[in-house]
């Protein structure tokens, strides 16, 4: 919870050590309060990091004067909540998702924005949540899993998906990826072999792997592709399908 005295203590620490001090994620009104408190202290500057443009909750970092914040790593990561025991849908609001995170022992100020990603709850957390080297945590009893996500796997609020009606020679990964991403099939096959692709959260390195209706394909640096519907073969023997592409180029802040 936000506390003026904690902000002042962190400001003194940053000024004396010359090293940035991270506090926690705070709401917009608290961000205004912190900026006002720090305005009277000449040796430090507040910086706020939300993980994407338009974020509401942001991480407060107190920078010592003269520190080059361009080289600063805010220590933010992204998560997905998964598992059959997690009974959430897009209309339930984020409170239930936050409750699951808290049940995993994650403090509220370690949690930034939480939003619905179309088939799971996603959001922003401190990277230290996954600091033990594991990119997955499980909530005992509920079956819910907290999984660390690559930014390309995240459906950020405000990102407009693109619907793509296409035909492909087969349901091979490289063929479907070629229909959904603006790159040649041969180039995408190279990227698949290099380990830059995931299907349903698992790294795949074979271009010939078959994908199916409902599968989620993630390409590092290119974005997220959902196989929404497979209509069947055309008269020419190709497969007709509907894809949804979410761009990976979500601006961060």
More confident residue, 25 or 149: 25
38: helix, coil or strand?
helix
| Model pLDDT for residues 82-108, shown as the tens digit of each residue | 764 454 444 456 888 898 889 888 999
Q: What is the pLDDT of residue 66?
A: 80
C-alpha–C-alpha distance, residues 248 and 222, integer Å: 5
Q: What is the pLDDT of residue 166?
A: 95
C-alpha–C-alpha distance, residues 154 and 150, integer Å: 7
Side-chain-side CA neighbours of 152 within 13 Å: the count stands at 19
Is it the case that residue 124 has pLDDT exceeding 90? yes
Spell out the domains of the chain, with CATH numbers in brackets: 4-71 (3.30.1370.160), 76-149 (3.30.70), 162-247 (3.10.290.10)
Model-level pTM? Answer: 0.77
Nearest to 146, CA basis, from 201, 189, 91, 68:
201
Q: What is the pLDDT of residue 168?
A: 96
Q: What is the pLDDT of residue 143?
A: 66
Per-residue tokens: 88: 């959430």
List the Cα angle 191/216/113 in 5-degree steps: 105
Strand intervals (E) in 127-250:
136-138, 145-149, 162-168, 197-199, 202-204, 216-219, 223-233, 239-247
More confident residue, 146 or 89: 146
Residues β-bridged to residue 233: 239
Q: What is the pLDDT of residue 229?
A: 95
C-alpha–C-alpha distance, residues 15 and 5, integer Å: 15
When the pLDDT of each residue in the chain is averaged and rounded to a whole number, the result is 87
| Model pLDDT for residues 17-64, shown as the tens digit of each residue | 999 999 999 999 999 999 998 988 878 999 999 999 899 999 999 999
């Amino acid at each position: 919870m936000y506390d003026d005295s904690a902000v002042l203590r962190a400001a003194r620490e940053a000024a004396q050590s010359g090293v940035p001090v991270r506090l926690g994620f705070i709401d917009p009104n608290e961000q205004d309060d912190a900026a006002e408190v720090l305005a009277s202290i000449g040796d430090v500057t507040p910086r706020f990091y939300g993980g994407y443009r338009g974020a509401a909750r942001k991480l407060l970092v107190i920078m010592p004067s003269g520190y080059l914040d361009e080289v600063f790593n805010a220590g933010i990561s992204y998560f997905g909540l998964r598992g059959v025991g997690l009974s959430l849908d897009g209309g339930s609001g984020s409170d239930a998702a936050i409750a699951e995170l808290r049940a995993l022992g994650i403090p509220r100020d370690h949690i930034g924005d939480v939003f619905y990603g179309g088939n799971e709850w996603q959001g922003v957390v401190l990277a230290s949540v996954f600091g033990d080297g594991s990119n997955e945590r499980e909530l005992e009893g509920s079956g819910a899993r907290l999984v660390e996500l690559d930014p390309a796997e995240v459906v950020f609020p405000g990102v407009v998906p693109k619907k793509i009606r296409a035909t492909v020679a087969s349901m091979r990964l490289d063929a479907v990826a070629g229909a959904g991403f603006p790159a040649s099939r041969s180039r995408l096959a190279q990227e698949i072999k290099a380990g830059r692709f995931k299907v349903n959260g698992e790294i795949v390195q074979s271009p010939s792997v078959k994908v199916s209706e409902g599968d989620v394909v993630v390409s590092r640096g290119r974005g997220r592709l959902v196989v929404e519907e497979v209509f069947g073969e055309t008269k020419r023997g190709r497969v007709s399908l509907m894809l949804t592409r979410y761009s990976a180029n979500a601006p961060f802040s």
